[in-house]
Amino acid sequence: MSDSRRQLLVDAVRTRFATILVSGGYETNIGAKLFEWRVTELETADLPALNFRDTRNVTEQKLSHIHQHALEFEADVLTAGVSETPKQIRKMIADVVKCIGVDRTWGGIAYDTDPKEDVLGMDQAGLIAGGARIKFVIKYRTRSFNPYSPQ
């Protein structure tokens, strides 16, 4: 059974994000604690973590036989109990942005990727926790009403 183009894109994002390791030339190892659509709270043992999800997809009809999609992603990065937490979060944001830019077509499945916004936040209770949500949009095309078929 084949996967939709959207599923192929999510798989490509997961595979790419898993490469965010210091040994791979990045500043952090958030690719080692990678989650897709994790909805439960992250625990200390999960950190530093990267949790990503595909959220909204906007489709436009182009010509008579093409659907052009803008699939929105959110990548959450989180750490706690470390020193210089905001600095660490900024490194994680930079790593995610760098990783997205490795190939904006995700192996030819999409025709481009656009950046959106990122938001950084901090909280303190038993531990200082810092996180950021990075948003980006992958643009791809399929045949009209055929999510499995490339344009």
Question: Which parts of this chain interact with other proteins (CB under 8 A)?
Answer: 40-44, 51, 76, 78, 80-81, 119-133
Q: How far is CA 73 from the centre of its chain?
A: 6
CA distance 119 to 133: 5
Nearer to other proteins, 81 or 101 (CB): 81
Nearer to other proteins, 44 or 55 (CB): 44
Smallest distance, other proteins to C-beta of residue 41, A:
4
Nearer to other proteins, 18 or 128 (CB): 128
Q: Tell me how many degrees the CA angle 82-45-101 measures, rounded to the nearest 5.
A: 70
Smallest distance, other proteins to C-beta of residue 21, A:
21
Smallest distance, other proteins to C-beta of residue 9, A:
23
CA distance 106 to 35: 19
Omega of the bond leading into 115 within 30 degrees of 0 (cis): no
Smallest distance, other proteins to C-beta of residue 10, A:
19
Per-residue b or e along 58-75, where b marks 16 or more CB atoms closer than 10 Å to that residue's CB = eeeeeeeeebbbebbbbb
Nearer to other proteins, 8 or 75 (CB): 75
